[in-house]
């Protein structure tokens, strides 16, 4: 999707959050840092651990997870999504804790017919409660090349970024009665699966299995995080000691806030905070407070 207006084009020149502020973290080797958890061979690690692919066909999809758990972190991954007619498929990339009252931070890429833009679906769950969806149309073709998708999670906020550009911020508003994920360690997961009952145009467009196998590719996984192990964090006393970045106190500066507002104005297609039909008794507290 091309950016047409001159004002939008000029916005592209803005310095991007998280591209130069944080110190670089080490690119992980997939053999060392993740494990393929399901798919019966449909998930594969290649190129000496530098590339991972997930595939989906009619019998099954596939998925993998990080070996580490995190209690706060900045997690980066480059993805190249399913090309062509990807209708009905979902590529999910997210952080999640176990249990029935789990926390979760979601990127989900909803496939579409050839030539139509992907829908990027985001959500935040705290203690098993979600319903905080924001959706976007990407301003580039995510199937033509790899692009970076980042989750920054610290005690003050969660920031979703695409190629270093912030698209969404979920702030800690516990002082106003809004739950925030802070106590449950989360692991990184990714999967490619069939969801043609809802993923494309509300389930109206079904998966065309003649196009299978569908394949998504991954590279440059970075985990700059407080690793949780044996009930302890690698960041003593909540400090960023042992990590390579200043992400534990990272926030959006004025330029980054303006950049995020531009993305939301230009490419957001759904925002739960404006859906008064869905919340007839009143919008969620974080929407009003924001």
Query: What is the predicted pLDDT for the residue at 290?
Result: 61
Q: Which residue has the higher pLDDT, 17 or 160?
A: 160
Q: Please tell us whether the domain made up of 6-289 is placed in CATH 2.60.120.200.
A: yes
For the annotated catalytic residues, the residue numbers are 104, 108
CA torsion sign for 6, 9, 13, 14 is: positive
201: which residues sit within 8 A by CB, 6+ positions away?
A: none
**Does the pTM of the predicted model rise above 0.85?**
yes
Q: Name the one residue in this structure whose structure tokens are 């449950």.
A: 184
- Given a cut of 70, whether residue 22 has pLDDT beyond it is no
Q: Are 82 and 208 in contact (CB under 8 A)?
A: no
- For residue range 83-118, list pLDDT tens digits in order: 999 999 999 999 999 999 999 999 999 998 887 889
Average pLDDT of every residue of the chain: 88
Domain boundaries, the chain: 6-289
């Amino acid at each position: 999707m091309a950016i047409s207006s001159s004002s939008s084009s000029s916005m592209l020149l803005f310095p991007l959050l998280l591209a130069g502020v944080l110190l670089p973290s080490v690119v992980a080797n997939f053999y060392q840092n993740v494990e393929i958890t399901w798919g019966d061979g449909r998930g594969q690690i290649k190129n000496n651990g530098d590339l991972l692919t997930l595939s989906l066909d009619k019998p099954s999809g596939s998925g993998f997870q990080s070996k580490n758990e995190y209690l706060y972190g900045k997690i980066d991954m480059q993805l190249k999504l399913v090309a062509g007619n990807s209708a009905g498929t979902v590529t999910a990339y997210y952080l999640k804790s176990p249990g029935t009252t789990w926390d979760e931070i979601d990127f989900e890429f909803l496939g579409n017919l050839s030539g139509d833009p992907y829908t990027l679906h985001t959500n935040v769950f705290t203690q098993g409660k979600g319903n905080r969806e924001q959706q976007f149309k990407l301003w580039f073709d995510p199937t033509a090349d790899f692009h970076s998708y980042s989750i920054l999670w610290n005690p003050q906020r969660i920031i979703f970024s695409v190629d270093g550009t912030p698209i969404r911020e979920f702030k800690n508003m516990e002082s106003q009665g809004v739950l925030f994920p802070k106590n449950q360690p989360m692991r990184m997961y990714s999967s490619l699966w069939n969801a043609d009952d809802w993923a494309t145009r509300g389930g109206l467009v079904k998966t065309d299995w003649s196009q299978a196998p569908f394949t998504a590719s991954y590279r440059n996984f970075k985990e700059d995080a407080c690793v949780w192990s044996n009930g302890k964090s690698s960041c003593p006393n909540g400090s960023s000691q042992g990590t390579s970045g200043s992400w534990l106190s990272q926030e959006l500066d004025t330029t980054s806030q303006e950049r995020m507002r531009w993305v939301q104005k230009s490419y957001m297609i759904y925002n739960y905070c404006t859906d008064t039909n869905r919340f007839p008794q009143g919008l969620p507290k974080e929407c009003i407070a924001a």
